A and B are shown apart, each in its own frame.
Chain A
Amino acid sequence: MRRTRRRRIEETPTVMLTSMTDMFTLILVFLLHFIDPALSSDPSVQLPSAPVSDAAAEGTTLSITPDAVRLNAKTVVTLAGGQVPATVERDGKLIVPLYDALGAVQKQPAGTGTEEPLLRVECDKTVPYTVVSDALHTAGSAGFGRFQLVVIQKE
């Protein structure tokens, strides 16, 4: 009995994991190549596509979905029916809560450059222009002089 058990243990094959480890390491590097904050967007936003090749850059991000206006992923204004509700404080076209939030972002120390601050705008393709117009007007009032309208690159 003892002899039989010993033989079975000795015959158990060892799994060679080295080649599999190599493969997984390559997959890991491949996937890490696609992880870039500038290449990612708010998943709740259906971006429009356009045949442009200028790469999107990082920066303060204004996301406009049919449900909300977000600044750096924080909801600033909740939309109703794709429009800014009447209950939200306004000053003409200016959206006051968004203006305050953009002002707070502007006060934070950012780049050392002297050029005008850049606002990255990620807007859902179904949002009516009046919401976009009001948001951009508010951003302009808050000191953002350049807008980067983010789209999905189309061939």
Chain B
Amino acid sequence: MVSRARTPEGADLDVVPIMSLIMHLIPMLLLSVRFTYLAQLPSGRVVPSVPAPSGEALAEQEAKVVSVRITPQGFAVGGLGGDHVIPCTAALCTPDTYDYASLTAAMVEAKQQHPTENRVVVAPGRDTPYEVVINVMAATRSRGKGAFKQVLFPNALLADDAVAP
């Protein structure tokens, strides 16, 4: 009898404070949320004691090492036996007019010539936008998606900016 008197039947929980708290939390979380997924591209180590490969050094190594020089005119691919130039799709090279599809096709050809090699030397120019460097790394990394994905050169080594003209 005493307990009934202390807790009357049908007593509602006062959820108003909880509602108030949640109403404050939601805008705060909405401000901090970014609905984008971040991924990462691994990059090789920059060894300070070893000088970065010069243009001549890269030319000597072209028969052994696959390389991509990013120039203001397009890409110069090494490792295919001779100069393999991929010009931009427009007169003026911008991050959107570099021909990444042709670069991937060249990398497929290079992979056939160097089946055991996983490294590619990417040599951008001094003023090359970072976006182009990332696009080149992505284009040389693999081709296709899902079950049709072909791994090409997943280990990109960034060369000194003195390499490109």
Contact = CB atoms under 8 A, between A and B. Distances in A.
Contacts of A56: 38-40
A35 B26 contact: no
Contacts of B141: 52
A17 interface: yes
Interface stretch (B10-18, B57-65, B106-114): B10-18
Contacts of A64: 130
B47 interface: yes
Nearest to B32: A35
Contacts of B133: 129, 132
Given A48-B135, A129-B129, A136-B158, A28 B41 contact: no
A61 B157 CA distance: 20
Given A128-B127, A129-B129, A130-B126, A31 B38 contact: no
Contact of B130 (A27, A52, A123): A123
Interface string B93-116: 001000000000000000000000
A39 B37 contact: yes
Contacts of B40: 52, 54-57, 120, 148-151
SS class, residues of chain B in contact with chain A: mixed
B22 A129 contact: no
Q: How large is the interface on A (under 10, 10 to 19, 20 to 34, 35 or more residues)?
A: 35 or more
A60 interface: no
A97 interface: no
Contact of B38 (A124, A126, A129, A152): A152
Given A39-B37, A129-B128, A133-B158, 19 more contacts: A21-B18, A24-B22, A25-B22, A28-B22, A28-B25, A31-B30, A43-B34, A51-B138, A54-B39, A54-B42, A55-B38, A56-B38, A124-B130, A125-B131, A125-B134, A128-B129, A145-B45, A149-B40, A151-B39
The 4 closest A-B pairs by CB, nearest first: A125-B131, A140-B46, A50-B138, A31-B29
Interface of A: 14, 17-18, 20-21, 24-25, 27-28, 31-32, 34-35, 38-41, 43, 47-48, 50-57, 64, 94, 116, 120-121, 123-130, 132-133, 136-137, 139-141, 145-153
